[in-house]
Amino acid sequence: MNTKTLLTALAVTGALTAVLAGCTSGSDDSTPTPSPTASAAADAGQPDDVCTDGIAFVTFTEGGELTKALPDGCDTIVVTGDGGTLTAGPTNVVFVTGSDNSIDVETLAQADLDGDRNAVTHGGTAEPVLNTDGTGNTVTAR
């Protein structure tokens, strides 16, 4: 596991711990309520290609749709898979795990590219922060 993936996993774990800690009650006089089972929670995960709470997951799979769009953009877009094309509105951060993807966003502050030959194009005037663990990845302004 590379350092960036490990740091991302640790950050997500820390954030979830903080959120879940806020859900506990110090009072013992409340009536317990049933919690959803782990399998029910996993089945109810966030759908692909939809921005929910500022995060969108876009997955490109062999035999699946390889051209997708998020016209309203999203604060953070996580792209997985190979050979896909994504067009999106305003975006702050794009994470790409995969190769040979083409991503065009209205605005961009940071691109994290873990794979090879991914091309990110943006319409912003400022140069975004680029973190890459692959080869042949590019981030260019239109």
131-135, long-range: CB < 8 A, 24+ apart:
131/4, 133/2, 133/4, 134/99
What per-residue confidence (pLDDT) applies to 98?
A: 96
Torsion of CA 85, 88, 92, 98, to 10 degrees: -10
| H or E stretch at 92 | strand 91-97
Percent of all residues in the chain with a pLDDT value above 70, rounded to a whole number: 69
| H or E stretch at 120 | strand 119-122
What per-residue confidence (pLDDT) applies to 126?
A: 81
Q: What is the Cα Rg of the chain in Å?
A: 18
- DSSP-assigned letter for residue 34: P
- Kindly report the CA angle at 47 between 45 and 49, in degrees rounded to 5? 150
Question: Each residue of 62-111: pLDDT tens digit?
Answer: 999 999 999 999 999 999 999 999 999 999 999 999 999 999 999 999 99
Q: How confident is the prediction for the chain on average, in pLDDT?
A: 81
The least confident of 22-26, 35-39, 48-52, 100-104 is 35-39
Chain-centroid distance of CA 22 in Å reads 24
33-36, long-range: CB < 8 A, 24+ apart:
none
